[in-house]
Amino acid sequence: MLRFTTLLATGIFMLASASCKKEYTAFPYVQIERFVVEDSAGNALKASIINNEIIVYWPPFQSTPDSVTPVIVVSERASITPASGTKVPFNPGTLYTVKAEDGSTQTFRLKPAINQPPLTNLRMAGSSYRINTIVGLFGEFIVPDTSVTRLYLINKDNREIPLPVSQITKINTALVYVNIPVSNTIDTGTYQLKLINNNRTGIAGPFRLLPPSLIVTDFTFPQNGSTVKKGNVFTLQVAGSSEKYYSGKFAYAIFRAANGTNISINVSTQTNNEVSFVIPADFPAGALQQVIIVSTDNSFATLKPSISITE
């Protein structure tokens, strides 16, 4: 009898428990409720979620970052991959997957909307420049950040020659100053200047590149510390950019004699790295004060030899 009473009590308890139990349904929600990143100034940018795209409107005149670290809120009991607080590339290749409690998923694509206006009214400050000098590029809506700025020379064959970012000497919203360096890839001739700035592109020109100014340190005197007799050969050796751009293009030199007289002497002979002059028979004797070497395009360098002219 006791056994029957115990079984009956257990059955009544189980029925009572079953009647109190409620059926549970897993949540099916797979939405991104909030997606926020910081701009370059530290301001919060809230994305718009439209048709499975996470649209982030980036402010104008700010550098567009390579990556962002979003703070994300999703539907209740859902999860997201990559997780909130994870650094991700700031480009359309970044995908997010929201997984609901019931196992269903939804994929969202990050879509940066860059609000920088197009580069406008790009122009050069002049029509010709010497290599190894500063070129001025003017315009409107330039983002003043060298990390998002690239410059290229475009030659007559439409070949692009990159200019190192390190050569940019000044940049603001209205101009870029860049030095055109002496380089094996840059020669004289007609060019255009291409600017890529925070995903915007513009081209200015054409303009001409002229040889760089002659550099004093490119010249040496093999006869330094000695004497040169009148009627004999006086020699200059040339190296560096002066040799590269002016080889065979020297016209004359102005010699300042010991008495202060300036005498112009034409080039006697010249090779790739050497220029020679014959000292006139009537040249005043004594220590040379200076030699000004002049090219066919009137570039010049003022040199200080340590040489004396003798009978």
Range of the domain at 50: 32-114
Cα–Cα distance for residue pair 177/59, rounded to 1 Å = 25
> Do 248 and 282 belong to one domain?
yes
| Residue 25 within a domain | no
Question: Quick one: how many helices (H) and strands (E) in the chain?
Answer: 2, 30
Neighbours of 74 (CB within 10 A): 22
> Do 108 and 54 belong to one domain?
yes
| Residue 44 within a domain | yes
> Do 101 and 50 belong to one domain?
yes
> Among residues 185, 210, 235, which one ends one of the domains?
210
CATH of the domain at 93: 2.60.40.2340
> Among residues 61, 91, 114, which one ends one of the domains?
114
Query: What's the average pLDDT block by block, 10 residues per block, for the chain (311 residues)?
Result: 50 50 82 95 94 93 90 97 97 96 97 89 94 95 92 97 97 96 92 94 96 95 96 96 93 97 97 95 96 95 96 90
- Identify the pLDDT of residue 1: 47
- Identify the pLDDT of residue 114: 83
Q: What is the pLDDT of residues 70-104, one digit of tens each?
A: 999 999 999 999 999 999 999 999 999 999 999 99
> Among residues 85, 114, 143, which one ends one of the domains?
114
> Do 229 and 306 belong to one domain?
yes
Strands 300-303 and 290-295: antiparallel
Cα–Cα distance for residue pair 108/35, rounded to 1 Å = 11
CATH of the domain at 262: 2.60.40.3920
> Do 88 and 153 belong to one domain?
no
CATH of the domain at 199: 2.60.40.10
pTM, 2 dp: 0.67
- Identify the pLDDT of residue 3: 52
| Residue 145 within a domain | yes
- Where is 18: in which H helix or E strand? helix 2-20
Residues in the chain: 311
- Domain count across the chain: 3
For tokens 């979620």, the residue is 49
> Do 232 and 306 belong to one domain?
yes
Q: What is the pLDDT of residues 262-288, one digit of tens each?
A: 999 999 999 989 999 999 999 999 999
> Do 136 and 64 belong to one domain?
no
- Identify the pLDDT of residue 14: 52
> Do 239 and 263 belong to one domain?
yes
